[in-house]
Amino acid sequence: MKNAKTVLGLGLAALMGSASLAAAQGGSLNIYNWGNYTNPELIEKFQKETGISVTLTDYDSNDTALTRIKAGGHGFDIVVPSASYVPVWVEDGLILELDHAKLPNISNIDPQWVDVPFDQGRTHTVPWLWGTTGVVVDTSVYSGDPHTADIFLNPPDELKGKINVIPEMSDVLGIVIRAVGGTDTCTDDRDVLRAARDALVAAKPHWLALDYGTVDAYVAGDLAAGVYWNGASMRVRLGNNNFVYGYPKTGYPIWMDNAAILADAQNVENAYKFLDFIMQPEHAAMLSNFARYANAIVGSGPFMDEDMRDAPEIVIPEGLGDVGQFALTCSADVQQIHAQIWTELLR
């Protein structure tokens, strides 16, 4: 009796394991992306048009993704790292150099995003979405100026104990280093870096959480303020319109996430098809409409939702446009210090 069970169990298990390989006629594609960042309708459309069966696994931070891929044996084909991490992926040989002949739609990329410092000429990645990191705050709790880093670094009493900071190193340091006087996020001025570390450590007791995926928590009133990305903040506002998104006037990071094909991908051809797919204007718009971030594809405008056109999270207010700084990879020593500050904060 139990032998039959074992055999049945093993048989089913073997079937399941090979199911993903035998799947659809078109084969399969395994995408590893940020959570809540890929429009399910887009996936459906892709699957229908190509017959490729897609799996989507998500991660919450650049570090998690990098660690996972470096450990090996992951089975993914596509990954979507942020710009500041792309050089690390390239240097470690983790992503493929792209054959542009297989990506006809690559000419759709907005020229300003083609020769980017982290990937000149787009040799390894194509744009996914881009945005800014700032602060989000509940105006029914706090009635002051939202465009300041003090909201989480030096919070007023009504916000203390109700703040969340996304535990993403480059985003948070991108705000804090500028806020304590650094002119450049990648400065190697020890005094500035020490001030940044001190400011963070001093502010932490006032925070309630250091968590991702908190749209729900903001809308439900568990949190009243925090550091957050613009698109996620827009979702918060749509759920509870007391919230506004603030651009810290001392400086805020602009980031871009980019799709790449993993060096040990099993389904390289399918990955190319997908990358080409997302560079079509209407598909880029689908990505934007879902995640609420801007894309880098020319011609996607007409396909975007109405409320994206002039949303304050997308259109940077007058006077604050200049203080945004694109988040890039810093030199190895500075990176080390950043990592150490970060671990000290997180502990």
Partner 1 sequence: MARSRFAIGRLPGFAMMAMLTFAFLYLPIFTLVAYSFNAAASMTVWEGFSLRWYEAAFANRTVQDVSIRSLVLAVSAASIATALATMAALATTRKRHFPGQTMIYALINQPLMVPEIVTGVALLIFFAMIKVQTGYTGLGYLIAAHSAFCIPFAYLPIRARLETMDLTLETAAADLYATSWRAFRHVTLPLLAPGIIAGFLLGFVISLDTVVITELVKSAGQDTLSTYMLGQMRRVVTPETNAIATLFLLLSLAAVTIFFLLSRKRV
Partner 2 sequence: MSRARETEQAARRRDVRLRWLLCAPALVVLLLAASGPLLIVVTYSLLTPGNFGGVVWQFSLEGWFRVFFSRDIFDDTVGFAGAHLDIFWRSIRLALITTLITAILGFPTAWFIATRPPATRPIWLFLVTIPFWTNLVIRTFAIQEVIRNEGLINNLLRWAGIISSPIQMLYTDFAILVGMAYVFLPLMVLPLFASMEKLDFRLVEAGYDLYANRLRVLWHVILPLVKPGFIAGSILVFIPAIGAYVTPRILGGGRNLMLGNLIELQFGQGRNWPLGAALALTLLVIVVAALIFYVRTAMRDSGGQRG
Least distance CB 326 / partner 1 (angstroms): 27
Least distance CB 246 / partner 1 (angstroms): 22
Residue nearer to partner 2 on the CB measure, 33 or 61: 61
Residue nearer to partner 2 on the CB measure, 76 or 207: 207
Radius of gyration of the chain (CA): 21
* 203 lies in the binding site for partner 2 (CB under 8 A): no
> What does the alpha-carbon distance between residue 316 and residue 326 come to, in Å, rounded to a whole number?
14
- Count other Cβ atoms within 10 Å, centred on residue 92: 12
Residues 327-346 that bind partner 2 (CB under 8 A): 332, 337, 339-344, 346
Exactly one of 26, 60, 105, 303 binds partner 1 (CB under 8 A); that residue is 60
> What does the alpha-carbon distance between residue 200 and residue 194 come to, in Å, rounded to a whole number?
10
* 71 lies in the binding site for partner 2 (CB under 8 A): yes
Least distance CB 179 / partner 1 (angstroms): 27
Exactly one of 115, 216, 222, 307 binds partner 1 (CB under 8 A); that residue is 216
* 7 lies in the binding site for partner 2 (CB under 8 A): no
CB-CB contact of 260 with 138 (8 Å)? no
* Among the residue ranges 72-80, 118-126, 171-179, 191-199, the one whose residues contact partner 1 (CB under 8 A): 72-80
Burial label for 55, CB within 10 Å (0-12, 13-18, 19+), is middle
* 17 lies in the binding site for partner 1 (CB under 8 A): yes
Exactly one of 75, 144, 301, 312 binds partner 1 (CB under 8 A); that residue is 75
Exactly one of 193, 284, 285, 287 binds partner 2 (CB under 8 A); that residue is 193
CB-CB contact of 38 with 287 (8 Å)? yes
> What does the alpha-carbon distance between residue 231 and residue 291 come to, in Å, rounded to a whole number?
6
Least distance CB 100 / partner 2 (angstroms): 28
* 71 lies in the binding site for partner 1 (CB under 8 A): yes
- Count other Cβ atoms within 10 Å, centred on residue 145: 11
Element (DSSP H or E) covering residue 53:
strand 53-59
CB-CB contact of 245 with 234 (8 Å)? yes
* 270 lies in the binding site for partner 1 (CB under 8 A): no
CB-CB contact of 50 with 92 (8 Å)? no
Write out the E strands in 171-323.
Answer: 207-209, 225-229, 243-246, 252-261
By CB under 8 A, name the binding residues for partner 2: 61, 63-64, 66-67, 70-71, 88, 92, 161-162, 164, 167, 169, 190, 193-194, 197, 204, 207-211, 217, 220-222, 332, 337, 339-344, 346-347
